Amino acid sequence: MNDTPIRRSVHAYFMQRALELAGRGWYTTRPNPRVGCVLVKDEAIIGEGWHERAGEPHAERAALADLERRGGSARGATAYVTLEPCSHTGRTPPCVDALIEADIARVVVGTQDPNPRVDGQGVARLRAAGIDVVTGVLAERCAQINAGFNQRMRQGRPRVRVKLAMSLDGRTAAANGESQWITGDTARDDVHRLRAESGAVMIGRGTLVADDPSLSVRLAGEWPQPLRVVLDSHLEISPSAKLLGLPGDTLVFTASGDRTRIQALQAAGARIEQVGTRGAGLDLAAVMALLGEREINDVLVEAGPTLAGALAQAGLVDEYMIYMAPTLLGDGGRSLLKLPGVQTLADARQLVVDAIEPVGADWRIRARPKRSEDEGD
């Protein structure tokens, strides 16, 4: 059948199902992308699969295994895949080989894989094998579910999301410094889910001293724990900090070469990474590049106004997750971000608000820095 509106609607229908399957690996696939696959023959689904975690079968092979359990055949079927099938051997064999061997007739792809080891090569190999390939079906949705992975592949650094909690008048703490808790239980649970889907959670030394946080996911059931990242230019973190005594890894970035302090923190369980400085603090771009090398797709920053502002000034914030409580703290409270370069309205940093949603008694605002491509918004 030609590429008619009806056929495009059929493709979108089955790709939407593949997206739903990809979402089942939302918290578990990192550092790999989230991928879903649906096998269809005679307009009926004959096999389904999704990638669950790194080192385990990719979505295409999982769908073929599901088809085999059902006793069906893939010959002449169509595979709907949210991400271009891989064409290289990584933790698992190439998925294009499995699709070719199964005698699939058509592969419908949501979005191209930006991984340089794939990046169009999967589609090329399928077409070279005589398989009809359709691309770009629900492409924007398919790309969005892997925003962090895509950015790391293209830019060499993770997606950076800054989480902020504030009163209705934009304060993050009362005049006496008290900040726990501005928002309610539902909003805090939502933040724990953000932690679970992130490869790393980052704070500065100021937040560590003020709150002594654990940065762990504390929700009922089994949840993946992120890498805990602390930025501490002079390595003043105490070896008795709460997060050093918890299961999982803590990575401390510092400009200090103090061997005594380094050894004490290493003995307490921390990993130390030395980076250079830029301005009054660490070189934040270098920090993000190093996290990208560690295959971190998403960094959730839960910092105070100093680090949040520094990241904004460095152009390293990709998204703000702002939780707003229906309370007023007055002009004596602590501000949301430190942006010393903003003196006039012309200096203001413009944002694009993508969503405002109720979270219990609070509101969650999802926004991103306005880029040149957003001028029409």
Neighbours of 248 (CB within 10 A): 15
Task: Please give the model's pTM, rounded to 2 decimal places.
Answer: 0.91
* Per-residue pLDDT, 335: 82
DSSP string, 347-360: GPPPEEEEEEEEET
Q: How many residues does the chain have?
A: 377
3-class DSSP string for 48-115: EEECCCCCCCCHHHHHHHHHHHHCCCCCCCEEEEEECCCCCCCCCCCHHHHHHHCCCCEEEEEECCCC
* Per-residue pLDDT, 373: 66
* Per-residue pLDDT, 87: 84
Q: Which of 49, 137, 29, 141 is nearest to 98 (CA)?
A: 49
Q: Which segments of 207-249 are extended strands (E)?
A: 227-231
The reply to whether 60 belongs to the active site is yes
Alpha-carbon distance 54 to 47, whole Å? 21
Neighbours of 267 (CB within 10 A): 10
3-state SS, residue 162:
strand
DSSP string, 9-48: HHHHHHHHHHHHHHGGGTTT-TTSPP-EEEEEETTEEEEE
CA distances from 183 to 210, 267, 300, 326 (A): 18, 36, 18, 9
Residues 6+ apart with CB under 8 A from 104: 39, 74, 77, 78, 79, 131
Sign of CA dihedral 230, 235, 238, 244: positive
- β-pairing, 78-83 vs 44-50, is unpaired
Which residue out of 20, 52, 56, 60 is catalytically annotated? 60
**pLDDT tens series, the chain, 377 aa:** 456 777 889 999 999 999 999 999 999 999 999 999 999 999 999 999 999 998 899 999 999 999 999 999 999 999 999 999 988 766 777 899 999 999 999 999 999 999 998 989 999 999 999 999 999 999 999 999 999 999 999 999 999 999 999 999 888 877 776 667 889 999 999 999 999 999 999 999 888 888 888 999 999 888 999 999 999 999 999 999 999 988 889 999 999 999 999 999 999 999 999 999 998 889 999 999 999 999 999 999 998 889 999 999 999 999 999 999 999 888 877 888 888 878 888 888 899 999 999 999 999 999 999 887 666 55
Q: Are 337 and 308 in contact (CB under 8 A)?
A: yes
* Per-residue pLDDT, 1: 44
* Per-residue pLDDT, 348: 85
